[in-house]
Amino acid sequence: IFFRIMSKLSLSAAIIWLVVLLPAVHACSRILWTKYSNSFVMSGRSMDWVFSFDDYLYVVPRGIPMDGGMGKGSARWTSKYGSVVSSMSGWSSKHGFDFVRDGGTDGINEKGLAVHVLLLEATEYPPPDKDIPGVSYLRWARYLLDNFATVAEAVEGTKKVHILSVAIMGHVLGAHVAIEDSNGDSAIFEIIEGKLHVYHDKKAVVMTNDPPYDQQLKLLRRYEGFGGDLPLPGSTSSEDRFVRLSYYLPYLPKPADDTEAVASVQSLMMNAAVPFGAPYGDDVYPTWWTSYSDLTNGVYYFNWVKNPFLIWVELKNLDFSAAEVLVLNPRDPRLLGEVSALFTEVGTREAQKAAVPEMHSTTLSVFGCVSAIFVCSIFAVAIHQMLVKRTAGGGRMRTSHLNPEESPLLT
């Protein structure tokens, strides 16, 4: 029924209608894999939403002036570290927000700090305070990536500002943030009843959406492997995704190299992804893209799910001493592999002019189906080969449930 309705609405009317429903959205997942931290530290995240945000990737150099986007009471800074940032700016810029500064949802900086902004409906931002510098939640990611090299620094820096609300088409999006660094440290920030809650713990390796993180941990204890007797759940709800990711993460086998490490994290993220065309009841929205941050080697991977190929940016190939912010449209189906040389200056807006057609349509294309099947098949084969090698070498694939003390979340 939803698709029949949407096919009869104009694009602008559809977006307005969907924004009205935004409070009912549950979307996105994040994991941090540190089991083999002596070899690598890697994270993954997904972006699930009812429509595409027309996302862009940015290269932000050092020395770029920035503010919190809250007017006179804003925090102000100059980027200390260069970064690669994923942003929903293609959408937010159509509704009055800055194409470069606003909308950051994900990214990694040159020091190995990664940031992931996900939806949290339970968020209640504090009111502005003239004595505390303000940062819009649409610039929260930039604040962290621009200023801090480690999780510990970011935790202290976040306590010195207020993360504040701004309305997009009359609606405020609640956000919580997960961060990690190349040492495997981790933290989750949530703003509940106007107060900042910080979960600074290397065991904070999974985050989805509502309920807040402390409640997710309590719910987790109901399931087999975490002290309870409920079987592993299978829906796409935030609670169920949290349980599945927490359960499977410790079972990922040791990869032979960086390529297998990316494949392993992607295979797990696909377990929490939502297919195109899935029913939209019970707050289910499709996965538009996934990202993978190799914090050890400084590589940012990105997969637009409607494209069959993975792209990545090796930060060592970027000139973070440059004077201009650069931009790339990662939705372009022609992209494949390492793309650091393909970013263009934002001032020319060439990336916007060259943008692929809008993807707000909810009609599932044949190409999208084939691409999704193609990508999943590749990584299924890769994981199968890894397990075969493990077995051939005398290893044994574990199938039993985790004991509560084995969980990185509950110990």
Is residue 108 included in any domain, yes or no?
A: yes
Quick one: pLDDT at residue 311?
Answer: 98
Number of independent structural domains in the chain: 1
Quick one: pLDDT at residue 280?
Answer: 61
Question: Interhelix angle for 140-147 vs 151-158, to 10°?
Answer: 130
Is residue 310 included in any domain, yes or no?
A: yes
Which one of the listed residues 28, 70, 166, 409 is annotated catalytic? 28
3-state secondary structure of 135: strand
Residues 274-290 pLDDT 10s:
998 887 665 558 999 99
Quick one: pLDDT at residue 73?
Answer: 96
Is residue 381 included in any domain, yes or no?
A: no
Is residue 5 included in any domain, yes or no?
A: no
Do residues 307 and 40 touch, judged by C-beta distance below 8 A? Answer: no
**CA–CA gap between residue 228 and residue 269 (Å, rounded):** 24
**CA–CA gap between residue 145 and residue 141 (Å, rounded):** 6
Is residue 95 included in any domain, yes or no?
A: yes
User: What's the chain's length in residues?
Assistant: 411
Quick one: pLDDT at residue 281?
Answer: 63
Verdict on whether the full-model pTM lies above 0.85: no
3-state secondary structure of 199: strand
Is residue 104 included in any domain, yes or no?
A: yes
Is residue 348 included in any domain, yes or no?
A: yes
Quick one: pLDDT at residue 165?
Answer: 97
**CA–CA gap between residue 13 and residue 154 (Å, rounded):** 40
Residue 242: exposure state from Cβ atoms within 10 A (0-12, 13-18, ≥19) = buried
Is residue 257 included in any domain, yes or no?
A: yes
Asked whether the CA dihedral 207, 410, 179, 330 is positive or negative, the reply is: negative
Q: Output the domain CATH number for residue 51.
A: 3.60.60.10
Residues 326-346 pLDDT 10s:
999 999 999 999 999 999 998
Assess whether 28 carries a catalytic annotation: yes
Quick one: pLDDT at residue 16?
Answer: 41
Q: Which of 80, 85, 84 is nearest to 66 (CA)?
A: 80
> In terms of DSSP bridges, do strands 299-304 and 287-294 run parallel, antiparallel, or are they unpaired?
antiparallel
Domain span including residue 32: 28-355
* Per-residue pLDDT tens digits of the chain, which is 411 residues long: 433 434 443 344 434 434 444 444 457 999 999 998 878 999 999 999 988 999 999 999 999 999 999 999 999 999 999 999 999 999 999 999 999 999 999 999 999 999 999 999 999 999 999 999 999 999 999 999 999 999 999 999 999 999 999 999 999 999 999 999 999 999 999 999 999 999 999 999 999 999 999 999 999 999 999 999 999 999 989 999 999 999 999 999 999 999 999 999 999 999 999 998 887 665 558 999 999 999 999 999 999 999 999 999 999 999 999 999 999 999 999 999 999 999 999 876 544 454 433 333 333 333 344 344 444 444 444 444 444 343 344 333 332 333 434 444 444
